[in-house]
Amino acid sequence: MDLESSPFHHLLDTNHAPSRAEAEHIHKHLCLPEQELQTIDEEIARLDTLLHNHRSRREKAVSYIHKHRRLLSPIHRIPPEIIAELFTYCLPSAHPPTRDLSEAPLLLTLVCKQWREIAFRTPYLWSSLHIYIPSTRVSDKEFMDRRKNGIKQWLERSGNSPISLSL
């Protein structure tokens, strides 16, 4: 469909108002292009559906491969006891651990389910804690309750290990 091949080419992009006969002729002339447009739209819709299905299949294949490749990761061959021992070397050396998610041991619990379980089952990681309570928050009951609960959980994870606290 080339605009220059249209019998109305000379009238396109003008302010010409077609007569009744011209309007009827234009309507008849548009039947074939409108059918072609409908065919193209239907093909695009079919291709969109096909593309959506292919994308969905691709995502499933990528997920399947990724999950299986993770099994081949060398970390999965290291026994949990060795990982727990390595975790102890992640604890801050300059100060006792705090309840900061960006530092060990809490940071280790955010990596994956396996690391979280190993960290929670390693009492030594939880045997030392620095407790900081800003003087401006002492009267904030909700803050103090959260802090108390967090400290309680921390200490429970320490099991029978000797505990070292700093305030």
Tens of pLDDT, residues 45-97 = 999 999 999 999 999 999 999 999 988 989 888 999 999 999 999 999 999 99
Spatial distance between the Cα atoms of 104 and 126, rounded to a whole number of angstroms: 10
Block residue for tokens 């320490």: 158
CA 137 – CA 147 distance, rounded (Å): 10
The helix (H) or strand (E) run that includes residue 129 is strand 128-130
pLDDT in tens, 113-137: 999 999 999 999 999 999 988 888 8
Alpha helix segments (H runs only) across the chain: 20-71, 80-88, 113-120, 141-157
Q: What is the pLDDT of residue 127?
A: 95
pLDDT of residue 133: 86
